[in-house]
Amino acid sequence: MFRLAHLSDIHLGPLPALSIRELASKRVTGYVNWHRNRRRVMFGETLTDLVQDLKQEAPDHVAVTGDLVNLATQTETIAARIWLEELGLPRDVSVVPGNHDAYVPGALRRAYKEWHEYMLGDNPLSAVGNSFPYLRVRDNVAIFGVSTAEATAPFMATGTFKRGQALHLARLLDNCRATGHFRVVLIHHPPVSGAAAWHKRLIGKQFFYKVIHEVGADLVLHGHTHLDTLHWLRGPDHMVPVVGVPSASQSPGGSNPASRYNLFEIDGGPGKWSLVQRERGARKEAPGIDWIREHELLSSGRAVQARPREDARPAREPQDAA
Asked whether the predicted pLDDT for residue 16 surpasses 80, the reply is: no
Count the alpha carbons within 13 Å of 315 in the hemisphere toward its beta carbon. Answer: 22
Pick from 8, 11, 70, 79: which is nearest to 42 by CA?
11
Give SS3 for 4.
strand
Which residues have a Cβ under 8 Å from the Cβ of 322 and sit 6 or more positions away?
29, 30, 33, 155, 156, 157, 199, 200
For residue 30, what pLDDT is reported?
A: 47
Percent of the chain whose pLDDT exceeds 90:
69
pLDDT of residue 283: 85
SS3 assignment for 160-181: ECCHHHHHHHHHHHHHHHHHCC
Among candidates 177, 249, 186, which has minimal Cα distance to 214?
177
Q: Is this model's pTM higher than 0.85 or not?
A: yes
CB 98 within 8 A of CB 41: no
| Residue range 150-165: mean pLDDT, rounded | 93
User: Rounded to whole angstroms, how far apart are CA atoms 206 and 161?
Assistant: 9
Confidence of residue 42 (pLDDT cuts 50, 70, 90): low
The rounded distance, in Å, linking the Cα atoms of 182 and 167 is 20
Spell out the residues 6+ positions from residue 32 whose beta carbon is closer than 8 angstroms to its own: none
- The residue among 160, 163, 156 whose CA lies nearest residue 147 is 160
Residues 6+ apart with CB under 8 A from 220: 184, 185, 187, 191, 212, 233, 240, 241, 242, 243
Identify the structural domains of the chain with CATH numbers, from first to last.
Answer: 2-12+21-303 (3.60.21.10)
Q: What is the pLDDT of residue 308?
A: 40
Report the pLDDT value the prediction gives residue 32, as an integer from 0 to 100: 43
Strands annotated E in 210-285? 219-222, 229-234, 239-244, 260-267, 274-283
Buried b (16+ CB within 10 A) or exposed e, 263-275: bbbbebeeeebbb
Please, are residues 47 and 17 in contact by the beta-carbon 8 Å criterion? no
Helices and strands of the chain, counted as H and E runs: 8, 15
302: phi then psi, degrees, rounded to nearest 5: -120, 145
Residue 41 has pLDDT above 90, yes or no: no
pLDDT tens across 112-157, in order? 999 999 999 997 655 545 689 999 999 999 999 999 999 998 889 9
* Largest distance between two CA atoms of the chain: 58
Q: Is the pLDDT of residue 27 over 90?
A: no
Closest CA to 9 of 254, 257, 224: 224
Q: How many CB atoms lie within 10 A of CB 80?
A: 23
What is the per-residue pLDDT for 114?
A: 94
Residues 208, 191: Cα–Cα separation, whole Å: 7
Phi-psi region of 9 (alpha: psi -120 to 50; beta: other; left: phi over 0): left
State the Cα–Cα distance between residues 188 and 195, nearest whole angstrom: 12
pLDDT digits (tens, 9 = 90+) for 242-299: 999 999 999 888 889 999 999 999 999 998 999 999 999 998 767 789 999 999 999 9
First CA to last CA distance, the chain:
37
Residue 29: pLDDT above 80?
Answer: no
